[in-house]
Amino acid sequence: MSISYAPAGKSGKWDGVMDWFQMLSGASLILFMWCHMLLVSSVVISPGVMNSIAEFFESTGLAQVGGPLIFLVFLVHFVLAARKIPFRFDGQKTVVQHAKMLNHGDTWMWVIQAVSAMIILIMGSIHMWVVLTDLPITAAKSAARIQGGFWAAFYLVLLPLAEIHVGIGFYRIAVKWGFIKDRERGKFKRGENVLTLMFITIGFITLIRFMFLAIN
């Protein structure tokens, strides 16, 4: 279920176009997040594997160009999605009241996605800024950051929030744009929950690996 708080008169052709770009930017970020998690988790296999992958992205310029481009897509996606998020207290109160009244899982998923988006905007921006202003990426450098203490707690919050947000987004894209039928929703949602839990588990294992990685 989708809830819209766009001002009156803003619906129509352009609202549809913005919805389309919101979907495309969201799908791009979902794919990036999954690939990013798999690439970073390569440190579990070996720090050398992660360094080799990072070096490839550096040498081809993908890190220098792709990083800022992903950040731009990230900001554009938030602006597009923010059209349907109430920022005033009375609007937020109304959303919660409606969610309680409807008592529907998909409605609560939208609420969770909207709340997590606010936190991810701040924490995700900080993460990308820190990484992109400290190139090249290496396993030792990432481990040193995590072992500093603050960043371990930071990622323990950001990791599950980001993966839950991505998982809900994937499900809502599939439902809204008709990629799955109504009768398939339950099965698709269960599969997505398993996928989200899998990526969160991989993320936690990766954090643990960084915590105990020798950096000297």
Residue 1 lies in a domain: no
Name the domain count of the chain. 1
Q: What pLDDT sits at residue 204?
A: 93
Q: What pLDDT sits at residue 109?
A: 75
Residue 90 lies in a domain: yes
Nearest residue to 159 via CA among 208, 108, 106: 208
Nearest residue to 128 via CA among 57, 78, 70: 70
User: The domain that contains 104 carries what CATH number?
Assistant: 1.20.1300.10
Residue 3 lies in a domain: no
With a cut of 50, list the residues of the chain below it in pLDDT.
Answer: 1-10
**What does pTM read for this prediction?**
0.78
Q: What pLDDT sits at residue 6?
A: 45
Q: 104 labelled as ligand-binding?
A: no
Which residue bears the tokens 């389309």? 20
DSSP assignment of 79-137 equals HHHGGGS--SHHHHHHHHHHHHHH--HHHHHHHHHHHHHHHHHHHHHHHHHHHHTSPSP
Q: What pLDDT sits at residue 64?
A: 78
Residue 101 lies in a domain: yes
The Cα 23–Cα 166 span in angstroms is 12
Residue 139 near residue 215 (C-beta atoms within 8 A): no
pLDDT (tens digit per residue) in 30-88: 999 998 888 999 999 998 899 998 888 888 878 778 888 888 998 888 888 777 765 55
Q: What pLDDT sits at residue 5?
A: 46
Q: What pLDDT sits at residue 18?
A: 79
Q: 127 labelled as ligand-binding?
A: yes
CB proximity list for 94: less than 8 A, separation 6 or greater: 86
Tally the C-alpha atoms within 13 A of residue 28's C-alpha that lie toward its C-beta. 17
The Cα 142–Cα 203 span in angstroms is 14
Nearest residue to 37 via CA among 121, 160, 150: 160
Q: What range does the domain containing 172 cover?
A: 13-211
Instruction: Quote the strand ranges of 2-62, DSSP E.
Output: none
Q: 98 labelled as ligand-binding?
A: no
Residue 176 lies in a domain: yes
Residue 7 lies in a domain: no
Q: 77 labelled as ligand-binding?
A: yes
Retrieve residue 76's tokens. 């554009």
Q: pLDDT exceeding 70 applies to what percent of the chain?
A: 83
Helix, strand or coil for residue 8?
coil
Q: What pLDDT sits at residue 57?
A: 85
Q: What pLDDT sits at residue 4?
A: 47
Residue 6 lies in a domain: no
